[in-house]
Amino acid sequence: MPRTKGDHEARRRDVSEAVWQVMATHGFAGLTLRAVAAELGATTGLLTHYFPTKRALVEYALDLLEQRTLNRPRRASGNGLAALRDALLDILPLTPEAVDSNRIWVSSWDTALSDPALSADYARKYAQGRDRVRERVIAAQELGELPPGDPTDIAAGAESFTLGLVVQALFDPAAFPPQRQVKLLDDYLAALTTRT
């Protein structure tokens, strides 16, 4: 009896969850067909139906990570400086889910840096992130909550600060618990409001 489209879609969702669990547990370097098959309780032969090569699995995993990142709930407390703060808080590993996502993103950097096409894609994604932060910086400047200055540079600095804090929190979670991450971000934003 042939499989129905619903069965195929359900199996793809199962495979997606297995890919996600492998990445969350073992990092991007641990993402192999064998590891995903073991997580799924299936054979590697079944997985090659979905991913004929390791490259196809990696591309799928990166797409899945981007989809999950874009679809997760976001904070929304207005505009201006509050919106900028919310956007930066959404990047930080403040919850177990956010820790998993950030752990996967950071562990995928090595793969992306060694592949020109993936590297270009990551550059595009981070540029889009800076653009979203830049829009919030401009709104905060228009409201008088941030002093004048090049919003592109301010956004690049804010994203760089936040990503650096992500790395610190992932490597030393005891030294950078969620409360401290929030305090450090708030201190950073407070310094932005007073710079001339």
- The per-residue pLDDT for range 74-111, each reduced to its tens digit, is 667 678 999 999 999 999 999 998 998 898 888 888 88
* Cβ-contact 83, 136 below 8 angstroms: yes
Residue 127 — φ and ψ, nearest 5°?
-65, -40
Q: Dihedral (C-alpha) 47, 48, 51, 54: value to the nearest 10 degrees?
A: 100
Nearest to 49 by CA among 63, 33, 35: 33
Check whether 127 has a pLDDT greater than 50.
yes
Structure tokens at 45: 């032969």
How confident is the model at residue 56, as a pLDDT?
A: 81
Q: What is the pLDDT of residue 144?
A: 95
* Rounded-to-integer distance, Cα 170 and Cα 181, Å: 11
Give residue 1's pLDDT. Answer: 37
Place of tokens 């409201």: 143
Q: Specify the pLDDT at position 163.
A: 97
User: For 61, phi and psi rounded to 5 degrees?
Assistant: -60, -40
Are residues 188 and 158 in contact, defined by beta-carbon separation less than 8 angstroms? yes
pLDDT value at position 2?
Answer: 44
User: What average pLDDT is seen over the chain?
Assistant: 88
CB within 8 A of 105, min separation 6: which ones? Answer: 65, 69
Mean pLDDT of 128-138: 95
pLDDT for the residue 196: 58
Does residue 116 surpass a pLDDT of 70? Answer: yes
How many other CB atoms sit within 10 Å of the CB of residue 52?
11
Cβ–Cβ under 8 Å, residues 187 and 100: no
Token representation of residue 136: 């919030």
Q: What's the rounded mean pLDDT across residues 130-150?
A: 95
pLDDT in tens, 40-61: 999 888 888 888 887 787 778 7
Mean pLDDT, residues 137-158? 96
Range 179-187 average pLDDT: 98
Q: Could you give the CA distance from residue 99 to residue 88 in angstroms, rounded to a whole number?
A: 15
pLDDT mean over 166-175: 97
- pLDDT over threshold 70, residue 14: yes
State the pLDDT confidence band at 5, using cuts at 50, 70 and 90: low
Identify the pLDDT of residue 19.
84
